[in-house]
Structure formats: structure tokens, C-alpha cells
Amino acid sequence: MKRPAILLVNPPIYDFTAYDFWLRPYGMLRVAGRLRHACSITGFDFLVSEPRDAWGRGRYREEIVARPGHFGDIPRRFRRFGRSREEFRHFLKGGRFDAALVQAGMTYWYLGVREVIEDLQELQPDAKTVLGGTYASLCSDHARSLGADLVVDGADLEPLWRMLGVTPADSPPLWDGFVRGAGVVKLTEGCPFRCSYCSVPVLFPHFSVRPTGECLEEARQLAQLGAQHIAFYDDALLFRASEGIVPFLEAVARERLNVSFHTPNALNARFLTPELARQMVGSGVQSFFLGLESSSSEWQAATGGKVRSQEFSDAVTCLKEAGARFITAYLIAGHPDSEAAQVEDSMRFAHELGVRIMLAEFAPIPGTPDGERCREWVDIGEPLSHNKTAFTIRRLGADRVNQLKSLCRELNCSG
């Protein structure tokens, strides 16, 4: 019996900004890994970044495109990031596929998904198109309007297995062609906290720790494929550390994998102890991104109480004493309850602790308490309204956003 020919597609991005911050289609590659025994699989990744920095990150090819009418009031250039559409269309003409799996990232990146589906329908009309990912789960009705044959809404993959007529197997992600010096891994699923601005509780209602052996096999595979850097994609990497991160790092040490680790998904400072900090630094974790969001105690309590300022300060001390060199604090700008002055205070608080600052512009995510509150300002039913750049400018004004970014650069340069 002929093996189904499956195409994996990581679409281009239409946005004001985009950068390869260890961005990989991990969910799609995990699904593909479970199909490798029964299918012939090929990948096309639009998001190939060059040149890359010392940690495997880099800029995408980009071109300025016309702003959608929805962004007519936003004084920023709109761009398409990734390989050219013509390159993809040429690729599609060179083979035949039975199905195409398309991973959709941010909800407001759907313009790239729509482009891919249009080309698949024109040039691979017999291929079943499957759409999954964050956009497909948070905006499933809108995603269905793009014309895919199947929209995977949430974690239930049974409809996909039935469509393909295969029985999935337990197998590591299919990284072939998607590594390019860096890969990602998740030791846990979900998050025990319920921050009012975060989509994780909507997408992953329950927290669980993955078996250490499975995670180690993924890291081993990435190293064998040439990855020098691995980013943790966990949303609560340090929670129940004795079951997850601690045994994983011990196993990595025994394996002597020649890789460095990074934590772009915001570590919860509350769980960072001196012992854990020493183990992480000693095991090759090079970059530590901590989720502070705001130093306002009132704001912290109102949005879920994930971390307090003193806990954050203590965590920074632990990391510095352990020898960590690259520590960054995430701060939110544009949140409905965070006035610009609070953002400045938070930036100065983090700067006084001797860490770098990264401003994270607020995106109103449907299904979250804070996102639903934003219906009074924007049409949440239109995913372009979730765009973090546009929403923050509309809330604070372009001049104020520029002032905050200028202060951020000034503080980081003076550190």
C-alpha cells in the first residue's frame, strides 16, 4: 500500500515586526513525528532566518507590503516576512501531495496562512489541507473561513488520524530540515497559573510534566542534527522542578550533549532557588528571560499573582550568584490596566537590579479575561485586532510608545 505523501508548511508572517527568536513549528513537527512510520513527509519552511547570531537567532527575509485597511491608523510599515511566494509555488509544481499540514502561529498572522491555503488549493487541488496551531484553536470559526479541509481545534488529533487513515505512533518530532542550528523542546504542558492576559489556560487547561526520557531523546536528536542551541518552549518550566527541569538537566549532563539552552518563554521567578540557578547555569543554560510584566503590586495581584517584585529581585540575585550573565526582564506595555507611568517605573525597577529589559506589547487574546475586556475598544472577532503593535499604539499613542522604547534602549545601553 502506498504511503501517503504529506507536506508540512510553516507559513510566512504578515506583521509590522518579526524576528527569529528561536521560532520553530514545534507542534506541527511533533505531529509529523507520530506519522513518520506511515507517511512520506516533506517540509517547506518559509521562516528561514539569515544571518543568525551567536545563539541561532536571526532576521527573516522581508518586503514592505500594503497595510490592510484595518491598520490604516497605525503609523508603521507593514511587512511580509519569509521566503517568497513564488518559491513556494514553484515548489508545489514539482510534486504531488495527499495532504498538507499547516501550522498557524499568532492569531493575527493569518494572512500568511491564507496565502498558503490559496496556493495549495490552486496548485495541489487533490491535497487535503489541515490547519492547526494557536490561531486554529483560539479563532476556530475564523480559521474555518480560510477554506482548509480540516481545522484542528485544540489538542484532539483523532479527526486528523481519521482523515489520513493512519494510526499514530509514539515518536520524537520530525526535525529534518527545520533545525538550522537551533531547536526547541518542552518538558511540561500547560501552566498552573491563570494570568488574566495569557492564552495558555485556554489552550492547555491542565498542567503536566512529560517523561524525562522522551524529552532527553528529543534533545539528543536535535544535537545529532546539528543543533547548538535548544530553547525551552515551556510556559511553566520551573514548576514542579524536581519532576521536570532537574532530572532533565541531570540526564543532559550524563549524556554530555554539546548544546546550550535558552528560556524565551518567561521563567517564573518565584520558583528560582539558589540550587536550581546553579544547576541551570552549570548545565549550559545561557539566557534567562524572567516574566516580571510589572513591578506594581496592585497590577500583579489583579492579573493573577504570578510573581511579586521581591521574588523577582531574589531570583535575579540567585542567578547572578550562580554566574548567569544574560538576564532579561519581560515587561508589558499597553495592558488595559497598566498606565504608561507604571511601565516606566517597572523599567527602572528592573534596571536597578542590573538586568536587561524587553518590552512585550500587549495583545488582546480572545477567551482570556483581559482580552474579552478589550471588546469595548476593538473588534475581537477580527484577529488582526489582536496585533500587539497596533493595539499598544491605539492604547498609548505612537509618540508614547516611541518614548517607552527609547527609554528601554537608553536603560539597556547604560547597564
The answer on 218 and 121 residing in a single domain is no
Sorted by sequence, the CB contacts under 8 Å of residue 122 that are 6+ apart come out as: none
Asked if 153 and 202 sit in the same domain, the reply is no
- At 58 the three-state DSSP class reads strand
Q: Per residue in 169-190, pLDDT tens?
A: 999 999 988 998 999 999 999 9
Quote the percentage of the chain above a pLDDT of 70. Answer: 99
The verdict on residue 300 lying in a domain is: yes
118 DSSP β-pair partners: none
Q: Is residue 174 part of a domain?
A: no
- In this predicted structure, the answer to whether residue 250 has a pLDDT above a threshold of 80 is yes
* Residue 381 grid cell: 472577532
The per-residue pLDDT for 154 is 87
Do 150 and 221 belong together in one domain? Answer: no
Coil, helix or strand at residue 20: strand
pLDDT at 310 over 80: yes
Is 177 a member of any domain? no
CB 388 within 8 A of CB 362: yes
Strand partners, 100: 7, 129
Assess whether 326 and 284 both reside in one domain. yes
Per the structure, how many domains does the chain have? Answer: 2
Same domain, yes or no, for 186 and 130? no
Smallest Cα–Cα separation from 221: which of 279, 172, 272? 172
Cell 524572567 belongs to: 290
What's the farthest any 2 CA atoms get from each other in the chain?
A: 65
Question: Is 340's pLDDT higher than 90?
Answer: no
C-alpha dihedral (102, 103, 106, 111), degrees to nearest 10: -10
The pLDDT, as a whole number, for residue 332 is 97
Residue 176 lies in a domain: no
Looking at the structure, tell me whether residues 50 and 91 fall in a common domain.
Answer: yes
Smallest Cα–Cα separation from 367: which of 199, 172, 140, 204?
A: 199
Alpha carbon distances (Å) from 147 to 121, 159, 238, 258 = 9, 17, 40, 44
Does one domain contain both 115 and 199? Answer: no
The percent of residues above 90 in pLDDT, for the chain, comes to 96
Any idea which residue has 531570583 for its cell?
A: 315
Strands 208-209 vs 188-189: parallel, antiparallel or unpaired: antiparallel
CB 137 within 8 A of CB 153: yes
| Within a domain: 278 | yes
CATH label of the domain that carries residue 139: 3.40.50.280
- Evaluate if residue 372 carries a pLDDT over 70: yes
Asked if residue 169 belongs to a domain, the reply is no
Q: Which domain range does residue 87 map to?
A: 5-164
Q: Rounded mean pLDDT of the chain?
A: 96
pLDDT > 80? residue 317: yes
Inform me whether the pLDDT recorded for 47 exceeds 80.
yes
Q: Residue 243: helix, strand or coil by DSSP?
A: coil
> What's the whole-number mean pLDDT along residues 267-291?
97
Sign of CA dihedral 264, 268, 273, 274: positive
Looking at residue 50, what is its pLDDT? Answer: 83
* H helices present in 69-211, as ranges: 85-92, 110-123, 134-138, 140-144, 158-164, 200-203
CA 318 – CA 136 distance, rounded (Å): 39
Q: Tell me, what's the pLDDT at 2? A: 81
DSSP 128: E
Residues 361 and 221 occupy one common structural domain: yes
> Residues 9, 115: contact at Cβ < 8 Å?
no
The pLDDT-based confidence of 1 (bands split at 50, 70, 90) is: low
Q: What is the pLDDT of residue 184?
A: 97
